[in-house]
Chain A
Amino acid sequence: MAKQTIVKSKNAVSEPEYPLTTMAIVAPIVGWLIPGGGHILLKRYGRGVLLLISVVAMFLVGLGMQGRIYKPNGGDILDILGFIGDVGTGALYFLARIMDWGNLMAANATADYGKTFLIVAGLLNLIAAADAHHIALGKKP
């Protein structure tokens, strides 16, 4: 029994440890506020700029299509999820709220696509922020 335990511990693959650093907390927050900012902060300039262009362009196309900007709400579950998606764009969302951009309701099919663009821009930005966290931890090159 004792022999078996020794053999097991010798063969066991040790999981690499990724200590939580300050940068692993700061990078995703910056990445959320400024799309691609987390990657730029971590000196992944090319990736950061591409993420910035993609998320900002998607957000602007959504606004151009008269998409709806969701406000914080406690009503319909789809409205709550829409708000979570929208707020994922970080500073762009707050700017849009301050400037009163976007429509209140989707008036036509194009506006409905625009709403989807705005939500997905936010969700993609959240994925990018999570990626910045993984890079800062050292899980990803």
Chain B
Amino acid sequence: MTINLSHFSAAVVFALFASVVFGITQRNTTMEQVKYGLYCFAMFVGGVFVAGWVMALIRR
């Protein structure tokens, strides 16, 4: 089976799984884990947008 993901969708899938692991391992209580997981996910995806815009501006 071959999976073909675009750069963006690959980054989102990556962010999802990495955020789950970070949330569980880096915080103690369930609520803290959920919050930290969401924070990491937002940072990953936000970083993709920021990097994308930086590259687009450099290319101009």
Contact = CB atoms under 8 A, between A and B. Distances in A.
Q: Do A and B come from one complex?
A: yes
Contact of A54 (B2, B3, B4, B21): B21
Given A51-B24, A110-B10, 11 more contacts: A51-B21, A53-B20, A57-B17, A58-B17, A58-B18, A65-B2, A65-B3, A65-B10, A113-B5, A113-B10, A130-B25
A42 interface: no
B2 A140 contact: no
A64 B21 contact: no
A124 B26 CA distance: 12
Interface residues of A, number: 27
Interface of B: 1-5, 7, 10, 13-14, 17-18, 20-22, 24-25, 28-29
14 contacts: A50-B20, A58-B14, A58-B17, A65-B4, A65-B5, A66-B2, A110-B4, A110-B10, A116-B14, A117-B14, A120-B14, A131-B24, A131-B25, A141-B29
Interface in A41-80: 47, 50-51, 53-55, 57-58, 61, 64-66
Which 6 residue pairs are nearest across A and B when measured between Cβ atoms?
A64-B3, A131-B25, A124-B21, A54-B17, A54-B20, A58-B17
A133 to B, nearest CB: 11
